[in-house]
């Protein structure tokens, strides 16, 4: 799977920071990001390798909860583990090829992919980010998923929820050529918006939520699930 190198990403970020954001009609690039690592992310460790499931579900619940308690208050650690395991299995069986095809196609047009990524962040929607490293031997790619939730243009960094760190804010520095998580350094990046609101993925998360939700009194997630419309779903 191809990904945009960090060096190229920094160039597009600099262009946006120099005035393109205003041209896109975004009024405030410093809008408050209400996603909170210690409340809205999983409290469990990513040791089993459930990173995609953890960021995808955290994103979905954050956008869908409609005033209900945060993820850590609603789901016990045991429920979080079950959801992460089952959702990661669903992703591995059904979405890997879709993700790879998308990243390969948009590797050729990084400016447009990154533009949509930033527009999502600036509108208040956390965005899934895939990181990749093929290693020095050129073998199989090592993939890692994080959830971006705020862009800091003055520093040219993106704040992310990294499932390898349960309580810490992490940052992707767009001026650097890498991002390190634990002992692995990643040097390519992809913004797979095709997965942000994928219908089958959303249905699976709804099912897992209803199956494993932790009751707080008599409350469950109230109201209809909000399903943000991704560009690839919109009619021409």
Q: Please name the helix (run of DSSP H) or strand (run of DSSP E) that holds residue 180, with its range, or none.
A: strand 179-181
Going residue by residue through the chain, which has 236 residues, state the pLDDT in tens, using 9 for 90 and above.
445 555 555 554 544 444 444 444 443 444 445 899 999 999 998 988 999 999 999 999 999 987 789 999 999 999 999 999 999 999 999 998 888 888 877 665 667 778 888 888 988 999 999 998 865 555 556 789 999 999 898 888 999 999 999 989 999 998 887 889 988 888 888 888 888 889 999 999 999 999 888 544 334 443 334 444 444 344 43
pLDDT score for 187: 84
Give the bridge partners for 132, in sequence order: 143, 188
Rounded CA gap, 54 and 143, in Å? Answer: 14
Is residue 154 a part of any domain in this protein?
yes
Is residue 125 a part of any domain in this protein?
yes
Longest pairwise C-alpha distance within the chain: 55
User: 0.85 cut: is pTM over it?
Assistant: no
Question: How far is CA 35 from each of CA 61, 63, 67, 126, rounded to the nearest angstrom?
Answer: 11, 10, 13, 8
Is residue 198 a part of any domain in this protein?
yes
Contact between 189 and 10 under an 8 Å Cβ cutoff? The reply is: no
Of the candidates 234, 9, 228, 201, the one whose C-alpha atom is nearest the C-alpha of residue 120 is 228
Is residue 26 a part of any domain in this protein?
no
- Return the CA Rg of the chain: 17
Rounded CA gap, 38 and 96, in Å? Answer: 29
Give the pair of three-digit tokens for residue 196. Answer: 């942000």
pLDDT score for 81: 94
pLDDT score for 138: 55
| Distant-in-sequence, close-in-space partners of 197: CB < 8 Å, separation ≥ 6 | 227, 228, 229, 230, 233
Is residue 28 a part of any domain in this protein?
no
pLDDT in tens, 176-207: 878 899 888 888 888 888 888 899 999 999 99
Q: 17: exposed, middle or buried (C-beta count within 10 Å: 0-12, 13-18, 19+)?
A: middle
Is residue 227 a part of any domain in this protein?
no
The b/e string for 129-142 (b: 16+ C-beta within 10 A; e otherwise) is: bbbbbeeeeeeebe
pLDDT score for 6: 55
| Cβ neighbours of 183 (radius 10 Å) | 6
The domain in which residue 73 lies consists of: 4-17+35-214
pLDDT score for 15: 45
pLDDT score for 44: 94
Contact between 163 and 145 under an 8 Å Cβ cutoff? The reply is: yes
| Total count of domains within the chain | 1
Is residue 25 a part of any domain in this protein?
no
pLDDT score for 48: 81
CATH number, domain at 202? Answer: 3.90.70
Question: Which is it for the CA torsion 122, 182, 175, 101, positive or negative?
Answer: negative
pLDDT in tens, 5-18: 555 555 545 444 44
**φ, ψ at 44 (rounded to 5°):** -85, 165
Contact between 195 and 90 under an 8 Å Cβ cutoff? The reply is: no
Is residue 95 a part of any domain in this protein?
yes
Question: Which is it for the CA torsion 36, 167, 133, 57, positive or negative?
Answer: negative
């Amino acid at each position: 799977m191809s990904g945009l190198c960090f060096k190229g990403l920094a160039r597009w970020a600099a262009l946006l920071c120099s005035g393109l954001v205003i041209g896109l009609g975004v009024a405030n690039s410093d809008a408050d990001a209400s996603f909170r690592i210690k409340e809205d992310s999983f409290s469990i460790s990513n040791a089993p390798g459930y990173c995609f499931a953890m960021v995808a579900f955290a994103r979905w619940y954050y956008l869908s909860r409609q005033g209900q308690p945060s993820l850590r208050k609603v789901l016990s650690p045991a429920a979080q583990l079950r959801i992460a395991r089952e959702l990661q299995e669903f992703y591995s069986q059904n979405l890997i090829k879709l993700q790879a095809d998308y990243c390969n196609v948009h590797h050729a047009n990084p400016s447009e992919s990154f533009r949509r990524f930033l527009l999502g962040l600036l509108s208040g929607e956390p965005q899934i980010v895939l990181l990749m490293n093929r290693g020095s031997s050129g073998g199989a790619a090592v993939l890692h998923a994080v959830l971006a939730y705020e862009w800091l243009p003055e520093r040219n960094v993106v704040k992310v929820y990294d499932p390898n760190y349960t309580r810490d804010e992490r940052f992707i520095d767009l001026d650097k050529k890498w991002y390190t998580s634990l002992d692995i350094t990643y040097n390519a990046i992809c913004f797979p918006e095709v997965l942000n609101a994928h219908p089958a993925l959303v249905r699976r998360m709804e099912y897992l939520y209803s199956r494993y939700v932790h009751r707080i009194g008599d409350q469950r997630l109230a109201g209809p699930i909000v399903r943000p419309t991704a560009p690839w779903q919109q009619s021409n």
